[in-house]
Structure 1
Amino acid sequence: MYLLVKTVHVFAVVLTIGGVLLLAMTLRTIHPRIDERSRHVVESVLRWDIVVTTPALAVVWLAGFTMAFGAGWDTSIWLLLKMIPVVFLTGLHTIGADMLRRALRGQVKLPALVRHAPVATLVAFAAIAWLAVVKPF
């Protein structure tokens, strides 16, 4: 059963990271004023987020907790440290999707920090992968 849950978890992680990167890159590339062509792209990205990324993120959390408690890792230091970038990525996803929705309505000015969201996503994912594979603590 553990291998099945792990497989589902890894697949959901791939979908989630792809979706968070898609949000981050879309935010990075849209202009302050969204024209008709950009509007279509942003709407498509938001549909993908609703249909694929958000459910995948929920599966990541559920399968992750299932594995952690099932394997007795719930008090492991490496897992607790791993939760920091996991929560960061979850927040980045939530904020990114919200910013895109507001940008679509013309209600938000995108902060300069948005430029760094793709790199922040990759760095957080690298930290998660390293902690999950190496389990250093």
Structure 2
Amino acid sequence: MDQTTWNFIFIGITFGVYIGIAIWSRAGSTKEYYTAGGGVSPFANGMATAADWMSAATFISMAGGIAAAGYGASKFLMGWTGGFVLLTTLMVPYLRKFGKATVPDFIGDRFYSNGARLVAVICAIFICMT
């Protein structure tokens, strides 16, 4: 067999495994989707939330911007990644304690204000766009 055939076989098996995992571990409810049914430690849940927030687009754009500066600038990428993990690891236990899945919901209910919720939504959008 040639290299192209082996590539298709390997990629097909990999996709099959990923699809199998997705079907096997799909969430049955919204609570289960956002907080893993409460069966995951706050630390692991924080890391999972950080992974969601730190999308491939963010990571690739950050890495691309730093690549132009050379390997010496890689500390910025590690700080960016570590900041996401630290922030969400410290924040998720409080979200879970209040029974909320998003920061704007937490802020709105914590301060009994839809205005505060709106400010949190605007801040979250600004942070994601930045």
Q: TM-score, normalised by structure 2?
A: 0.32
Bigger Cα Rg: 2
**Bigger relative contact order, structure 1 or 2, given CA contacts below 8 A and separation 6+?**
1
Q: TM-score, normalised by structure 1?
A: 0.31
